[in-house]
Amino acid sequence: MRLLSVSVLLLLGCFCATAQEPVNGANERRVALTENAVALDTTGAPLLEATLKTTALNGAEDSPVTNIRMVVRNSTGVAYGYASGLVTFYDGAGVRCGEGMFKVDALAAGENVETDTPGIRIRCSPSSWRIVANSLIPRTVGPTVSPTSMNLRANANLIISVDGEEHPIQLDKPMVLTLGERQRTIVLREAP
């Protein structure tokens, strides 16, 4: 009876572990060094593509490769103000033998940019690699005011009407009005 219970628990444990694997298994796909590595989002859509520029990747335990150059391409329609990720290399047996970080400060939609991975330590002659996007911060564009529209606002014909009496006014220029027996100074300014 105990043997049957242990067998059932072991079988359920294997089933639960298998259920945690991605369905397509391609979220972080390794490719040959001559191919483009692609970073995917959670739905499997491509975010970034990378191509190796460095061809001499023959590292060893006592003399690792410490920097590589690669071209990163934005595969989305979103412009990023900052993009970073992880690049990983594997030997012929599929064992990870080097990884490092890359970053790009600005990346427009569809744009290619050359970058490096300072601090990487490749300790083998890799046969495959992959990239993973860690941080993708979209570029935000605030409201812009063109100089011509600012000049139009400053030179606009503004009139203030007090009890039917009209007075022309300009921005940041004082205007003196007589209200009753007192004179009042009015300055019209743009709110900060």
pLDDT at 174: 79
Residue given tokens 């991605």 in the structure block: 22
Name the nearest CA neighbour of 169 among 190, 147, 148: 190
Q: What is the DSSP letter of 188?
A: B
56 vs 21, 30, 37, 44, 156, CA distance in Å?
34, 19, 18, 31, 65
Mean pLDDT by groups of 10 residues along the chain of 192 residues: 77 59 60 92 89 88 91 92 93 92 91 92 92 89 55 62 75 76 79 68
What contacts 24+ positions apart, CB below 8 Å, involve 174-181?
none
Question: Apex CA 183: angle with CA 181 and CA 188, to 5°?
Answer: 145
Query: Which two tokens mark 94?
Result: 């599929």
Q: How close are the terminal C-alpha atoms of the chain, in Å?
A: 79
CB 93 within 8 A of CB 24: no
Q: Into which CATH architecture does domain 24-138 fall?
A: Sandwich (2.60)
Counts for the chain of helices (H) and strands (E), in that order: 2, 12
pLDDT at 8: 74
pLDDT score, position 24: 47
Under 8 Å between Cβ of 74 and 108: yes
**Residue 36 per-residue DSSP state:** P
Say what the pLDDT of residue 87 is: 94
Sign of CA dihedral 185, 190, 191, 192: negative
Radius of gyration of the chain (CA): 32
According to CATH, where is 2.60.40 located in the chain? Answer: 24-138
**Cα–Cα distance, 146 to 141 (Å, whole number):** 14
Q: Name the phi and psi angles at 21, rounded to 5.
A: -75, 145
- Helix, strand or coil for residue 74? strand
